[in-house]
């Protein structure tokens, strides 16, 4: 799986709607669209959708327009997955991206400020478009890779679950977020994630030295050899 670096910082010279990302970011007095994490716990992935439907309704999935939205509104996520399943990394994972805003984890977690301990993934879609099979496949691959890198399973939640009515009632934010919304198929995502988790597990098993059986297998072989040898008395 290839991940394309597209960091939202002053080194990025990609042109978006007539200006480079560097120009768009530095015009706002910033060097990059992230800051430092205060802790070292990263255990959650937050899923979002994003499009340019309100900016260019005729081409809502335009990557340039979407990247410009990040720069214009000083928001960011760690990853962006386009309609064809292509993955862009926008923010280093060890940095805090600005994707969740005022937020609180669902019960029983209840941690607030979800940006601090999460990785944000934006999936290109509109409220009515739904998501492509290629996006689900890339999302499953990406999340299994993240889990492999951190050697643990993550908690997965939607922006709507951490920045909805509950967050508003608690005074954490003023607006209600609804993404990735009812058209996001959580069951399909979980199936994809489990599939690629299994692929990673089998890949790791395949890396074991072929002449060195697993500990349980060694024990079983040892017991079998004892049973088969007539000169050994079993007690």
| Contact assessment for residue 123 and residue 50, using Cβ atoms and an 8 Å cutoff | yes
Choice among 10, 23, 93, 122 that is catalytic: 122
CA distances from 215 to 8, 161, 210, 228 (A): 47, 43, 13, 20
C-alpha span between 55 and 67 (Å, rounded): 12
What number of other Cβ atoms are within 10 A of residue 151's Cβ? 6
Indicate if 122 belongs to the active site.
Answer: yes
Residue 74: which of 123, 103, 32, 116 has the closest Cα? 32
Structure tokens at 127: 């409220």
**Buried b vs exposed e over 72-102: b needs ≥16 C-beta within 10 Å?**
eeebbbbbbbbbebbbbbbbeeebbbbbbbb
Residue pointed to by tokens 């002053």 = 10
Query: Any idea which residues carry the catalytic annotation?
Result: 122
């Amino acid at each position: 799986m290839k991940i394309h670096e597209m960091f939202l910082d002053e080194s990025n010279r990609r042109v978006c709607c007539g200006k480079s990302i560097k120009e768009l970011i530095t015009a706002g007095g910033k060097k990059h669209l992230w800051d430092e994490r205060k802790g070292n716990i990263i255990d959650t992935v937050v899923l979002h959708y994003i499009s340019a439907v309100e900016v260019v309704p005729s081409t809502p999935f335009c990557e340039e327009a979407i990247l410009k939205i990040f720069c214009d509104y000083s928001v960011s996520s760690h990853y962006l997955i386009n309609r064809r399943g292509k993955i862009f990394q926008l923010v280093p994972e060890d940095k805090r991206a600005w994707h969740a805003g005022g937020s609180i984890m669902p019960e029983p977690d209840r941690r607030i400020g979800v940006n601090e301990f999460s990785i944000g993934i934006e999936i290109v879609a509109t409220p009515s478009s739904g998501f492509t099979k290629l996006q689900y496949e890339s999302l499953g691959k990406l999340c299994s890779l993240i889990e492999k890198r951190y050697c643990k399973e993550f908690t997965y939640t939607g922006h709507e679950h951490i920045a909805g009515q509950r967050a508003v009632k608690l005074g954490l934010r003023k607006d209600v977020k609804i993404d990735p919304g009812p058209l996001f198929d959580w069951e399909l995502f979980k199936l994809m994630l489990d599939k690629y988790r299994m692929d990673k597990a089998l890949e790791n098993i395949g890396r074991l030295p072929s002449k060195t059986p697993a500990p349980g297998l060694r024990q079983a072989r040892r017991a079998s050899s004892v049973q088969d040898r007539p000169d050994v008395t079993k007690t």
